[in-house]
Structure 1
Amino acid sequence: MATTDPSGLDIDVSDLSSERAAAWFRQTPVRRDFSRLDDADFGTWPDGFELAGRWLGLRAYHRGCYRGAIAARIHRDGTADVLPPSCHGRFDPQLATALLEHAATQLGVRRVQLAISYLPIDATAIHACARSVRFQRTGDLLVLTRSVGGDDVSPQLGDWTFEPCALGERDDLPAVLQRTLIGSRDFPNLPQVGSIQAMLERFAEVGLGDDRMWYLARYRRNLAGCLLMTARGDCQIGELLYFGLVPEYRGRGGGRCMVRYALDTAGDRGLPAVIAGVDAENDPAIAIYASMGFDPVSRRGVFFRRLATGGDVSPYAT
């Protein structure tokens, strides 16, 4: 499908399965280094880039010449992750802004309720473009990692035990997850859309979609939280998707025990490292990761935009 905006850009819009997305990314020039916006350093997405799920791809042309592209991964819970816009040649704020606006419009048409974009912390020009089309910054995502094995000063599990809870096998998982979100310090201002079940289904889409690495946590036999992990197909490492405790069992060392169990699980599966993301303002969680030997590797600004159900109000709507 193609649309034209008031500036004369022709936008080619593609709905993509994971298989078609792989081909789309291989054929679409994209910028490698978003922190150097005056440098025309382009390549193609690596073959191992995580492409599972449903994608939306947009390419921009002007008078038949390729100008840039943007893509978004659509999740089942009514959210979509929007990749940073890429301009062919030097960075063009007008083009980047148009790509973000078109992406938001097309996502709204597809009944996505919330668009989220994780933008490089130093790419202030892209931040300005996002704000100009009603994306709001809600904080920063801190990405941390730790290798598995080696010297270990981690706690013993003690009174904490873990039991598998693959999606659909345990009726109590959604209720436990819901309670762990009470008072959460991970992006508290980010709007919540969709049901808890849809949230779990989104977690199941990440990486290899292996929900056999999902666990309920018990403290002295009482349900106290949940731990959700996966293995990433792009780099063969473990990813700690989520861990949380219900309010009455916080402050008993459960967070460190959960991370300990995540590292043990990764080691048992032969994964060399574990990666995790956390709100950069979530000091308690960051302290847990630091005490368990995790090191920060990157930081990104988290921007979001609410979209109207069934179509976003936009000057570019078609």
Structure 2
Amino acid sequence: MPPGKQPVKQGRPDPSDMQISRRTRSKTGSYHHGTPSASALKLKILNVAFPRVGQKAPRRMDIENPYLANPRDTQFRSILAERSCPCVTAVWAGMPQQATSFGESILVVFIPMGEGRGMNAFPGPLWTGPIAPEDAGAVLRMLSEEIPPEVARRLEAVEPGRWEETHWMVRGAYRGRELVGVELAHLQAGRTAVLWPPRLTPPVGIEVGLFLVEAVCQELGSRAVTLVYCFLETDTGVESRLMQLAGFTRLAQLLYLVCMEDQFPSQRPLSALSFEPYTPENHSRLVRTVEATYGESLDCPLLNQKRAMEDVLAGYQATGVHRPHLWQLVRADQHDVGCLLLTDHPELESLELIYMGLIPSARGRGWGMELARQAQWLTRLAGRNQLLLGVDADNWPAIRTYAAVGFRQWASRMVYGKFLESP
């Protein structure tokens, strides 16, 4: 699993779908029926000079030649409100955080084209907020493909106002009083969250989804979330374009691997390495060692040095059922040279290899295979029949090691991420 990038059970394929009939969850990866396709949208990306602060802006907006102005300008917003323009979204990009005046930047304007998708397709202002009680049933139906059945049952059992007690945040996009979109986020330990692409009602288009994603990210930032993940089946199509426009970066393609018990060693593997179980007393050593293993790592290098190590470990610890003896420091010649972190998923009769790593000076000696064998041995001792893990598709040394000890791929996902700044 990528370093500092703990796996997200809700955001990745469900291992129970594997069984190992290799059945993976079938999703279209696109918006609900009726949503305009990319060909039904006119996308303009223009370099323009915005009015300086205090200058007057035009008072008309032409659909074919959209009014280009600073989207933070109050006059610009009032024009949108007066014209009831739900289908136009302006995205301000490249703007310095502390800028006091506006120079050249990029304005992205979406104009839905085609019958029934004009400027006045939906009367009333567009806004986002908590789900209204009367919309709870519709929301759960819209999200039925996104959340595990046990989570759906848990949400059904409580009022929408209490959904966040389960660490699930659901926000709706409303046109007036009409629900036109839903965004789902799962708040996790380590100041992270997982965001799903928005679910929209036809004929709402991508611009409403973008509005919803940005609003939810802003709220997550106000709650001290520093990193938001989004898992997609592919890196092409409407959803990936939407997430990139919302400021998400493609971090990696994760390959999900499984090893069955017939590949586990029947006795403790012989090794020149020693394995020391985690205790509160060696916590500081574990922190230093995990951080050292990230050096020159091929697993999600875009995330290296971007998160506090205590946040990383908190995320690891919150995955599955944490059992301290399954976290081990790896030692050679009385020195810490690596780590092996596993967690338990009793409901799946599986252990998961959350992360294993060696410091740069300890690589190239075949020790990675010894760590993998130790993980298999611990899985056998725990009475579990399979060992799961996720690995960056670009980490070819790790993939080669895992294949050599009997792992095989059963699914993959594209991982996008966005770092948030607290207000």
**Which of 89, 112, 130 is equivalent to 1:13?**
130
Q: Distance in 2 between matches of 1:59 and 1:235?
A: 33
Equivalent pairs: percent with the same residue?
A: 26
Letter matched to residue 259 of structure 1: A
2:141 is aligned to 29
Letter matched to residue 12 of structure 1: G
- Which aligned pairs between 1:197-276 and structure 2 lie closer than 5 A? 197-232=310-345, 235-276=348-389
**Which of 229, 233, 238 is equivalent to 1:120?**
233
Q: How many pairs are equivalent?
A: 288
1:47 is aligned to 150
Q: Distance in 2 between matches of 1:210 and 1:48?
A: 24
Question: Does the aligned pair in 2 maintain the 1:25–1:45 contact within 8 Å?
Answer: no
2:184 is aligned to 71
1:283 is aligned to 396
**Larger mean Cα displacement after TM superposition, 243-252 or 83-92:** 83-92
1:196 is aligned to 309
Q: Distance in 2 between matches of 1:53 and 1:257?
A: 39
Letter matched to residue 337 of structure 2: A
TM-score when normalising by structure 1: 0.78
Deviations 1:191-244 (A, max 9, x none): 644421221111101112333310011124332100111012553421111000
Q: Residue 149 of structure 1: SS of its match in structure 2?
A: helix
Deviation at 1:95, TM superposition (A): 3.5
1:105 is aligned to 218
- Which aligned pairs between 1:163-178 and structure 2 lie closer than 5 A? 163-166=276-279, 169-178=282-291
Unaligned runs of 5+ in 2: 1-83, 87-124, 155-164
> Within the alignment, does 1:300 sit opposite 2:402 as a pair?
no
Indicate the structure with greater strand content. 1
Question: Does the aligned pair in 1 maintain the 2:250–2:415 contact within 8 Å?
Answer: yes
Q: Residue 185 of structure 1: SS of its match in structure 2?
A: coil
Q: Distance in 1 between matches of 2:244 and 2:258?
A: 30
TM-score when normalising by structure 2: 0.60
Deviation at 1:155, TM superposition (A): 10
CA gap of 1:287–1:201, structure 2 versus 1, over 3 A, is same
Question: Does the aligned pair in 1 maintain the 2:294–2:304 contact within 8 Å?
Answer: no
Q: Distance in 1 between matches of 2:184 and 2:337?
A: 38
2:251 is aligned to 138
Question: Does the aligned pair in 2 maintain the 1:25–1:44 contact within 8 Å?
Answer: no
Deviations 1:30-64 (A, max 9, x none): 456xxxxxxxxx58631179x99844332334444
Unaligned runs of 5+ in 1: 15-23, 33-41, 311-318
Deviation at 1:308, TM superposition (A): 1.9
Letter matched to residue 128 of structure 2: I
Q: Distance in 2 between matches of 1:155 and 1:287?
A: 22
Q: Residue 288 of structure 2: SS of its match in structure 1?
A: helix
Q: Distance in 2 between matches of 1:91 and 1:228?
A: 44
2:20 is aligned to none
Q: Distance in 1 between matches of 2:222 and 2:314?
A: 22
**Which of 131, 136, 149 is equivalent to 2:262?**
149
Q: Distance in 2 between matches of 1:25 and 1:281?
A: 42
Deviation at 1:153, TM superposition (A): 10
Q: Distance in 2 between matches of 1:167 and 1:194?
A: 22
Letter matched to residue 149 of structure 2: P
**Larger mean Cα displacement after TM superposition, 140-149 or 95-104:** 95-104
**RMSD of aligned residue pairs (Cα, Å):** 3.3
Q: Distance in 1 between matches of 2:266 and 2:251?
A: 34
CA gap of 1:53–1:68, structure 2 versus 1, over 3 A, is same
Q: Distance in 2 between matches of 1:272 and 1:154?
A: 15
Deviation at 1:102, TM superposition (A): 2.0
Q: Distance in 1 between matches of 2:198 and 2:281?
A: 37
Question: Does the aligned pair in 1 maintain the 2:373–2:405 contact within 8 Å?
Answer: yes
Letter matched to residue 28 of structure 1: L
Question: Does the aligned pair in 2 maintain the 1:148–1:267 contact within 8 Å?
Answer: yes
Q: Residue 283 of structure 2: SS of its match in structure 1?
A: coil
CA gap of 1:43–1:185, structure 2 versus 1, over 3 A, is closer
1:38 is aligned to none
Question: Does the aligned pair in 2 maintain the 1:28–1:69 contact within 8 Å?
Answer: no
Question: Does the aligned pair in 1 maintain the 2:376–2:387 contact within 8 Å?
Answer: yes
Question: Does the aligned pair in 2 maintain the 1:60–1:67 contact within 8 Å?
Answer: yes
Question: Does the aligned pair in 1 maintain the 2:268–2:377 contact within 8 Å?
Answer: no
Larger Rg: 2
Letter matched to residue 376 of structure 2: L
